[in-house]
Amino acid sequence: MASPSTPVDLAAAMVTTAPALADWLVILPTALMILSGAALMMIRKSVRLHAVIAIAALALLVLIDALLLWQVSSNGPVTMTMGGWLPPFGISFTADMFGAVMALVSALAALSAAVYSLRDIDTSGLRHGFFAFLLLLMAGVSGAFLTGDIFNLYVWFEVLLISSFGLLILGSEPKQIEGALKYAILNLIGTTLFLITVGYLYAIFGTLNMADIARKAGALRGVTENAPPLMTLSALFVLAFCMKAAAFPVNFWLPASYHTPRITVSALFGGLLTKVGIYALIRVTIMLLPVEREAISLVIAASAVLTMILGALGALAQNDLRRMVGYVVIVGIGNMLAGVAIGSSTSVSGAILYALHSIVTMTALYLVIGEAGRLAGTFELSRLGGLWRRAPWFSAASLALMLAAAGLPPLSGLWPKVMLLKASLDIGAWWLAAAILVSAFLVTLTLARTFLLAYWRPAPGGESEAVAATDWHSTLPIGLLAALTVFFGIYPEPLLAISQAAADGLADPSAYIRSVFPEGAAP
């Protein structure tokens, strides 16, 4: 090898100093999940070790995400760029308040679901790699929440999608294969749309780094001659992410598939996957393209109204509890979309708070339904009954979670709904406020009826012989999640402050940009 003829100044292209120790926190969640997921694949046949390793890894993930959130809230956004290349040339991971808090809450939900899965997933499921898929799913989810590069976001979407396919068909029942086919095809089309949009975005901006896009967007908007088609970008992004988030009219894959897999898998999907779509939607429309979002806000609002009303009516019409919860997930998506459509500071923080609340309650609600179905031996509302007498503590936790999902005080569902209502009344969108209230009323009816029929009334046809008992596999995660909703319902200040800080960080991304480009916010 000949030595270079001219001396090369590495500092112009590369980071020459070692990154601070705290910066590693931003990459650790994804790295840990990929490594432990790969380790589980290598010991696929020693199924006894799987649960121990996976639960330890998820507990560590919760710890790391909590440290990351603490670091972000005390010192501002954290950035690390891969390979030591200076941004925007290297792929950046950037954690701001929004990403960090979403990552922490989803890690908590995944840990709870993993504990519940100890009894729900049989040896054959373990052999087919349930925990490996779960950890890789969390790698995708954490990566999506923490990445600062839009093409990288696409890659994480694919990572979580392929892991979700694996989880969805665990068991290979005909019903599952049918649900998985519809889920896989529609989600694949959604991510392909996302890829098209990323291609257009690179053609317009010449960069994929989100901080770089945010600081260049202002200058590009000023161009009047041969104006760049930013509206096209915004419309395509909204369509692609609405497909991922299950917003009407592109949400029919959700009720077709979410009730088919094991209940733990439903809980993970209902809690996490749609919220990743909402996260990406908020990240792109509020932080990167706010002006273009304003132009199509009426379309988003119409989709939000239809999503929540039709979702609530769908929930009301279901006899199968698992399908009912699927529609309740859709109602929540409608509420978050309403927050995105309004786009004010209150509404965005309301949408973020709703997303956090929804991750916890939807995961918990699926677990509750699963446990109710296991105790009674059926998921059909017409045949359920007598659960209150058999498991009073479990029933109390169920009631709390159902009221939280319906948005009744004093539980965590109340506060985001109040913020969204206030935000929509502030801009005079009474019809949006009315839709939020009507859908909340319909969900209250649905869940109250579920409680009345499945828990309060005596079991139809007398007490069944096979009395399954609740044990710590189910009471621990359900109790933990129910305690979270009760605690943050009564004492919401910390979460309100976090979601407000997250919304402020999106509305004014200068701290985000400074974290990636320390030399200044101007290009």
Partner 1 sequence: MEILFVGLIGLFFAAAVYLMLSKFTIRILLGIVLLGNGVNLLLFTAGRITREVPPIIPADASTLGSVAANPLPQALILTAIVISFSFFAFLLVLTWRAFEELGTDSTDEMRLAEPRDEPLPPTGY
Interface positions, 51-110, toward partner 1 (CB under 8 A): none
| Binding-site size, partner 1 (CB under 8 A) | 46
Coil, strand or helix at 147: strand
Total count of residues recorded for the chain: 523
Shortest Cβ 6–partner 1 spacing (Å): 8
**Residues ≥6 apart with Cβ < 8 Å to 276:** 141, 144, 145, 157, 160, 244
Which range of residues in 50-58, 311-319, 471-479, 498-506 is near partner 1 by CB under 8 A? Answer: 311-319
Tokens of 391: 């498991």
From candidates 239, 381, 476, 480, binder to partner 1 by CB under 8 A: 381
Which range of residues in 18-26, 141-149, 283-291, 375-383 is near partner 1 by CB under 8 A? Answer: 375-383
Distance (Å, whole) CA 44 – CA 108: 25
The smaller minimum CB distance to partner 1, of residues 39 and 155, is found at 155
169 binds partner 1 (CB under 8 A): yes
H-run or E-run covering 80: strand 78-81
The smaller minimum CB distance to partner 1, of residues 318 and 474, is found at 318
Minimal CA–CA distance to 443: which of 365, 347, 378? 365
Interface positions, 433-472, toward partner 1 (CB under 8 A): 449, 452-453, 457
- CA dihedral angle for residue 282, residue 285, residue 288, residue 290, rounded to 10 degrees: -120
Owner of token pair 């859908």: 439
239 binds partner 1 (CB under 8 A): no
Would you give the binding string for partner 1 spanning residues 182-221, x where CB under 8 A is met? x-xx--xx--x--xx-xxx-xx------------------
Shortest Cβ 11–partner 1 spacing (Å): 14
Shortest Cβ 94–partner 1 spacing (Å): 20
Distance (Å, whole) CA 420 – CA 349: 9
124 binds partner 1 (CB under 8 A): no
Distance (Å, whole) CA 65 – CA 461: 49
Shortest Cβ 191–partner 1 spacing (Å): 9
The smaller minimum CB distance to partner 1, of residues 258 and 512, is found at 258
The smaller minimum CB distance to partner 1, of residues 301 and 447, is found at 447
Minimal CA–CA distance to 286: which of 220, 352, 212? 352
Looking at residue 95, what DSSP letter applies?
A: E
Neighbours of 497 (CB within 10 A): 13
The smaller minimum CB distance to partner 1, of residues 168 and 403, is found at 168
Interface positions, 245-274, toward partner 1 (CB under 8 A): 255-257, 259-260
> Longest Cα pair distance anywhere in the chain, in angstroms?
90
165 binds partner 1 (CB under 8 A): yes
Distance (Å, whole) CA 216 – CA 207: 9
Would you give the binding string for partner 1 spanning residues 8-27, x where CB under 8 A is met? --------------------
Interface positions, 320-339, toward partner 1 (CB under 8 A): 320
Which range of residues in 171-179, 213-221, 272-280, 387-395 is near partner 1 by CB under 8 A? Answer: 171-179
Coil, strand or helix at 484: helix
Distance (Å, whole) CA 72 – CA 75: 5
Distance (Å, whole) CA 128 – CA 110: 19
Shortest Cβ 75–partner 1 spacing (Å): 31
The smaller minimum CB distance to partner 1, of residues 101 and 312, is found at 312
Shortest Cβ 311–partner 1 spacing (Å): 16
Minimal CA–CA distance to 339: which of 280, 434, 417? 417
Which range of residues in 54-62, 181-189, 273-281, 435-443 is near partner 1 by CB under 8 A? Answer: 181-189
Distance (Å, whole) CA 199 – CA 156: 16
179 binds partner 1 (CB under 8 A): yes
The smaller minimum CB distance to partner 1, of residues 383 and 514, is found at 383
Tell me if 419 sits within 8 A of 347, measured CB to CB.
yes
Distance (Å, whole) CA 236 – CA 250: 13
311 binds partner 1 (CB under 8 A): no
CA-CA-CA-CA torsion sign (282, 280, 366, 477): negative
H-run or E-run covering 231: helix 230-245
Shortest Cβ 444–partner 1 spacing (Å): 15
Distance (Å, whole) CA 139 – CA 126: 19
Shortest Cβ 85–partner 1 spacing (Å): 13
From candidates 164, 285, 297, 318, binder to partner 1 by CB under 8 A: 318
Chain contacts with partner 1 (rule: CB under 8 A): 6, 151, 155, 158, 161-162, 165, 169, 172, 174-175, 177-182, 184-185, 188-189, 192, 195-196, 198-200, 202-203, 255-257, 259-260, 316-320, 380-382, 449, 452-453, 457
